[in-house]
Amino acid sequence: MPSKRARPTKLRPKPAARDAKLPANRALKSAWDRLAARILDASTQGAEAFDELWEAAGEAVEHEPPLYVLGGYKTPKEFYTKLLHTDPRTAARNIRVAKYASPLDEETYGTTNLDAALAYLEAKHGPLNGRLPVAFGALKIPRGGKLVAFAKLTAAEIGQATRALHKPKTPAHAARAAYEKALAKHPAFKACASRSRRAR
Protein backbone atom coordinates (compact mmCIF):
# COMPACT_ATOMS: atom_id res chain seq x y z
CA MET A 1 0.00 0.00 0.00
CA PRO A 2 1.53 3.36 -1.02
CA SER A 3 2.49 5.59 1.88
CA LYS A 4 0.73 8.88 2.33
CA ARG A 5 2.73 12.07 1.78
CA ALA A 6 3.71 13.63 5.09
CA ARG A 7 1.77 16.77 5.84
CA PRO A 8 3.70 19.92 6.89
CA THR A 9 3.95 20.28 10.67
CA LYS A 10 5.97 22.48 13.01
CA LEU A 11 8.70 19.86 12.83
CA ARG A 12 8.36 19.55 9.05
CA PRO A 13 7.61 23.08 7.79
CA LYS A 14 6.20 23.86 4.38
CA PRO A 15 9.04 24.58 1.90
CA ALA A 16 9.67 28.29 1.32
CA ALA A 17 9.79 29.77 -2.18
CA ARG A 18 13.54 30.41 -1.88
CA ASP A 19 14.09 26.69 -1.25
CA ALA A 20 12.42 25.68 -4.50
CA LYS A 21 14.75 24.26 -7.14
CA LEU A 22 14.58 25.00 -10.84
CA PRO A 23 13.21 22.16 -12.93
CA ALA A 24 15.91 20.15 -14.66
CA ASN A 25 16.66 21.77 -18.00
CA ARG A 26 19.65 20.82 -20.08
CA ALA A 27 19.78 24.13 -21.94
CA LEU A 28 19.81 26.15 -18.71
CA LYS A 29 22.41 23.87 -17.13
CA SER A 30 24.57 24.14 -20.21
CA ALA A 31 24.25 27.95 -20.17
CA TRP A 32 25.26 28.04 -16.50
CA ASP A 33 28.23 25.73 -17.10
CA ARG A 34 29.51 28.05 -19.85
CA LEU A 35 29.12 31.13 -17.63
CA ALA A 36 30.75 29.44 -14.66
CA ALA A 37 33.74 28.49 -16.85
CA ARG A 38 34.02 32.10 -18.08
CA ILE A 39 33.87 33.43 -14.52
CA LEU A 40 36.48 31.01 -13.21
CA ASP A 41 38.78 31.65 -16.16
CA ALA A 42 38.47 35.45 -15.91
CA SER A 43 38.96 35.43 -12.15
CA THR A 44 42.44 33.93 -12.62
CA GLN A 45 43.52 36.63 -15.09
CA GLY A 46 43.32 39.63 -12.75
CA ALA A 47 42.31 43.20 -13.61
CA GLU A 48 42.74 42.77 -17.37
CA ALA A 49 39.75 40.40 -17.40
CA PHE A 50 37.48 42.71 -15.37
CA ASP A 51 35.06 43.26 -18.23
CA GLU A 52 34.75 39.56 -19.10
CA LEU A 53 34.32 38.55 -15.45
CA TRP A 54 31.53 40.99 -14.63
CA GLU A 55 29.70 40.68 -17.94
CA ALA A 56 29.45 36.94 -17.27
CA ALA A 57 28.32 37.58 -13.69
CA GLY A 58 25.67 39.99 -14.98
CA GLU A 59 24.35 37.38 -17.40
CA ALA A 60 24.05 34.86 -14.56
CA VAL A 61 22.04 37.29 -12.43
CA GLU A 62 19.90 38.99 -15.08
CA HIS A 63 18.88 35.80 -16.90
CA GLU A 64 15.28 34.70 -16.31
CA PRO A 65 15.34 32.42 -14.40
CA PRO A 66 18.66 33.38 -12.75
CA LEU A 67 21.33 30.91 -13.77
CA TYR A 68 23.35 31.11 -10.55
CA VAL A 69 20.68 28.89 -8.95
CA LEU A 70 21.96 26.03 -11.11
CA GLY A 71 25.32 26.48 -9.43
CA GLY A 72 23.79 25.88 -6.02
CA TYR A 73 23.50 29.54 -4.96
CA LYS A 74 20.11 30.48 -3.49
CA THR A 75 20.44 34.28 -3.69
CA PRO A 76 22.48 36.88 -5.59
CA LYS A 77 24.27 37.72 -2.32
CA GLU A 78 25.37 34.11 -1.90
CA PHE A 79 26.51 34.00 -5.54
CA TYR A 80 28.55 37.22 -5.14
CA THR A 81 30.13 36.37 -1.81
CA LYS A 82 30.93 32.69 -2.39
CA LEU A 83 31.95 32.62 -6.05
CA LEU A 84 33.05 36.21 -6.72
CA HIS A 85 34.31 36.99 -3.22
CA THR A 86 32.75 40.44 -3.03
CA ASP A 87 29.74 42.20 -1.49
CA PRO A 88 26.47 42.78 -3.40
CA ARG A 89 26.96 46.57 -3.67
CA THR A 90 30.41 46.28 -5.25
CA ALA A 91 29.20 43.47 -7.51
CA ALA A 92 26.24 45.53 -8.75
CA ARG A 93 28.58 48.45 -9.49
CA ASN A 94 31.03 46.24 -11.39
CA ILE A 95 28.26 44.59 -13.42
CA ARG A 96 26.83 47.97 -14.42
CA VAL A 97 30.24 49.33 -15.44
CA ALA A 98 31.08 46.20 -17.45
CA LYS A 99 27.71 46.44 -19.18
CA TYR A 100 28.02 50.05 -20.36
CA ALA A 101 31.77 50.70 -20.58
CA SER A 102 34.45 49.19 -22.77
CA PRO A 103 37.70 47.73 -21.39
CA LEU A 104 39.45 50.87 -22.67
CA ASP A 105 36.97 53.09 -20.79
CA GLU A 106 37.59 51.08 -17.61
CA GLU A 107 41.34 51.48 -17.96
CA THR A 108 41.11 55.19 -18.82
CA TYR A 109 38.56 56.45 -16.29
CA GLY A 110 38.37 53.81 -13.54
CA THR A 111 35.31 51.94 -12.33
CA THR A 112 34.44 54.40 -9.55
CA ASN A 113 34.16 57.40 -11.90
CA LEU A 114 32.38 55.36 -14.57
CA ASP A 115 29.80 54.17 -12.06
CA ALA A 116 29.29 57.75 -10.86
CA ALA A 117 28.79 58.88 -14.48
CA LEU A 118 26.23 56.13 -15.10
CA ALA A 119 24.34 57.16 -11.95
CA TYR A 120 24.30 60.75 -13.27
CA LEU A 121 22.99 59.67 -16.69
CA GLU A 122 20.25 57.57 -15.08
CA ALA A 123 19.23 60.47 -12.83
CA LYS A 124 19.04 62.80 -15.83
CA HIS A 125 17.56 60.52 -18.51
CA GLY A 126 15.96 57.65 -16.59
CA PRO A 127 16.91 53.94 -16.74
CA LEU A 128 19.49 53.20 -19.44
CA ASN A 129 17.80 49.85 -20.23
CA GLY A 130 20.81 48.37 -21.94
CA ARG A 131 21.27 51.25 -24.38
CA LEU A 132 24.81 51.12 -25.76
CA PRO A 133 27.32 52.55 -26.13
CA VAL A 134 27.82 55.38 -23.65
CA ALA A 135 30.28 57.87 -25.19
CA PHE A 136 32.18 58.75 -22.02
CA GLY A 137 34.76 60.73 -24.01
CA ALA A 138 32.07 63.16 -25.14
CA LEU A 139 30.17 63.30 -21.85
CA LYS A 140 29.98 66.67 -20.07
CA ILE A 141 28.63 67.20 -16.57
CA PRO A 142 27.84 70.48 -14.74
CA ARG A 143 30.32 71.83 -12.22
CA GLY A 144 29.99 75.30 -10.76
CA GLY A 145 27.43 76.33 -13.35
CA LYS A 146 29.56 75.20 -16.31
CA LEU A 147 29.67 71.99 -18.33
CA VAL A 148 32.96 70.18 -17.77
CA ALA A 149 34.37 67.13 -19.57
CA PHE A 150 33.73 63.94 -17.61
CA ALA A 151 37.44 63.05 -17.70
CA LYS A 152 38.28 66.19 -15.68
CA LEU A 153 35.85 65.46 -12.84
CA THR A 154 36.22 63.45 -9.66
CA ALA A 155 33.64 60.92 -8.51
CA ALA A 156 32.66 63.35 -5.71
CA GLU A 157 31.99 66.15 -8.21
CA ILE A 158 29.92 63.83 -10.42
CA GLY A 159 27.97 62.72 -7.33
CA GLN A 160 27.29 66.35 -6.45
CA ALA A 161 25.90 66.97 -9.96
CA THR A 162 23.71 63.86 -9.59
CA ARG A 163 22.32 65.01 -6.23
CA ALA A 164 21.54 68.40 -7.77
CA LEU A 165 19.29 66.66 -10.32
CA HIS A 166 17.31 65.06 -7.47
CA LYS A 167 17.00 68.32 -5.55
CA PRO A 168 13.43 69.67 -5.87
CA LYS A 169 13.15 73.17 -7.26
CA THR A 170 11.10 75.35 -4.91
CA PRO A 171 8.76 77.65 -6.84
CA ALA A 172 8.71 81.33 -5.93
CA HIS A 173 6.06 82.25 -3.39
CA ALA A 174 3.00 83.41 -5.36
CA ALA A 175 2.20 86.39 -3.09
CA ARG A 176 5.81 87.57 -3.10
CA ALA A 177 6.03 87.29 -6.89
CA ALA A 178 2.84 89.34 -7.31
CA TYR A 179 4.12 91.96 -4.84
CA GLU A 180 7.46 92.30 -6.67
CA LYS A 181 5.68 92.57 -10.01
CA ALA A 182 3.51 95.41 -8.68
CA LEU A 183 6.54 97.27 -7.29
CA ALA A 184 8.41 96.96 -10.59
CA LYS A 185 5.70 99.01 -12.33
CA HIS A 186 6.60 102.12 -10.31
CA PRO A 187 9.95 103.85 -11.00
CA ALA A 188 10.32 104.89 -7.35
CA PHE A 189 10.34 101.26 -6.18
CA LYS A 190 12.56 99.69 -8.89
CA ALA A 191 15.59 99.63 -6.59
CA CYS A 192 13.64 98.03 -3.74
CA ALA A 193 14.06 94.38 -2.82
CA SER A 194 11.58 92.21 -0.94
CA ARG A 195 12.24 89.50 1.59
CA SER A 196 9.90 86.83 2.91
CA ARG A 197 10.02 85.10 6.27
CA ARG A 198 8.11 82.19 7.74
CA ALA A 199 5.62 83.12 10.43
CA ARG A 200 6.37 81.61 13.84
Would you call 81 exposed, middle or buried from its count of C-beta atoms within 10 A (0-12, 13-18, 19+)? middle
Beta strand pairing call for 140-143 and 146-149: antiparallel
How does pLDDT run across 38-92, given as a tens digit for each residue?
999 999 988 889 999 999 999 999 999 999 999 999 999 999 999 999 999 999 9
The domain segmentation of the chain, as residue ranges, is 22-100, 104-189
CA 121/CA 126 separation, integer angstroms? 7
pLDDT at 98 over 50: yes
Tell me what pLDDT residue 188 has: 64
How does pLDDT run across 154-163, given as a tens digit for each residue?
999 999 999 9
